[in-house]
Amino acid sequence: MTGMHAPPPPARSAPLAVQVVRQYAPNRGGLEDVVRQLSGQLLARGFRVRVVTLDRLFSAPDRTLPARETIDGVEVVRIPFSGSRRYPLAPQVFRYIRDADIVHVHAVDFFFDALAWGWPLHRRPLVATTHGGFFHTAKFSGLKKIWFNTITRVSSLGYRGIVGCSAQDARTFATVAGRRVVHIDNGADTAKFADAGAPAPQRRLVTIGRFSVNKRLDRLFDAMTQLVAENADWHLDVVGVPGDHSLDDVAAMIAARGLRDRIGLHAGLPDAAVRDLLGKVSLFASASQYEGFGLVAVEAMSAGLMPLLHPNTAYADLAGNHPEIRLCDFSDARKAAADMTAAFALLEKDPAGYRRAAMTAAATYSWERVADRYLEVYHTILQDSRRRLPATGLAERGGRA
């Protein structure tokens, strides 16, 4: 919870926004950070905020976390679950939304479906943010499409608004939820790593994120093998937390390529330590096959780093809006290495000018701006709830954010 100070507690009469998310602090990741940042912005704007989440981390399933805690002024309630990490069953969620003025579900999982289908029981206004849905990998893609076009389509009827947090998500969910879909790009903590990158160009890269299969660290390491063969000065820092891959799994991938001296592996670093690390780095790299938005790439730009991204749909959308981003096809290690070398040469021509442009681009994703757009959605839904209006599309009522 570094860098966020809790505002004075809101009055008990203030509206209560309940954020429902499968993983939260002490876990760290993009989804958790979005909920943390939005919760802090809501507190600052006079809401009471409760986060309902699971009582065990997927990375440490044998440890049960405290049932209740207050973090940065946010009430955190943790509930037991069964089933898989992909679709954890946690019916106790209904207990903790009864007094909510609005319920905000993050991601498309059990919570998304259960709260929609259970609406006749709780009758709380629902809004959801997609966070990539469940299309992070191509595994079971046929089954996922069937589920999306049947179960997800019906579940979406329970939501007053669905926020697609990338252009890709907005396009996808519009096929099942129509005009109730609102496109609001994810916010980024643009202050956390602001201007942290190396002031002079360095042949050093960083990748940041959970050690998940879709991140394709193997492909990034293959490209590093090519880079180091051409110039031994190249170095990569891998920063993250265990996911599908354990720390030992990632270390084994590095060792198998003979890159122990060229790749540093860092698990669970606090933000201050990451910031110090970025002071030696000029480039951010991600070989991810799938992203819901590209949050860490925006944070990298806020540090003045040049992002080198695999052209998945979300990254291609992001690069289409920001010429500061370079696309590299990591499915071809030799070509990716050549593209990375060319990107570094471009950076060397005008490092100060690139740095200014990257940080200016990142500023458009500040949480202050993004939270204002979420508040428009909240206020529209709350206004309609008080008037007992039907849940028609936000765009039809002039509430499009």
CB 116 within 8 A of CB 139: no
Domain boundaries for CATH 3.40.50.2000 within the chain: 16-187+366-397, 204-363
Percent of the chain with pLDDT over 90: 80
Those residues whose C-beta lies under 8 Å from the C-beta of residue 364, and which sit 6 or more positions away, are none
First to last CA, the chain: 28
pLDDT confidence of residue 389: 36
Mean pLDDT (the chain) is 91
Name the strand (E) or helix (H) holding 162: strand 161-164
pLDDT(86) > 90: no
Average of pLDDT values for 51-70? 96
Phi, psi at 164, each rounded to 5°: -85, 115
Rounded CA-CA distance 204/308 in Å is 12
CB 35 within 8 A of CB 21: yes
Burial class (CB in 10 A: 0-12, 13-18, 19+), 229: exposed
CATH class name, domain 204-363: alpha beta
Confidence of residue 136 (pLDDT cuts 50, 70, 90): low
CB atoms within 10 A of CB 160: 24
Those residues whose C-beta lies under 8 Å from the C-beta of residue 53, and which sit 6 or more positions away, are 20, 21, 22, 23, 24, 76, 77, 78, 79
Average of pLDDT values for 204-212? 95
16-187+366-397 fold:
Rossmann fold (3.40.50)
DSSP strand pairing (68-71 vs 74-79): antiparallel
Confidence of residue 35 (pLDDT cuts 50, 70, 90): very high
Confidence of residue 401 (pLDDT cuts 50, 70, 90): very low
Percent of the chain with pLDDT over 70: 93
pLDDT confidence of residue 28: 83
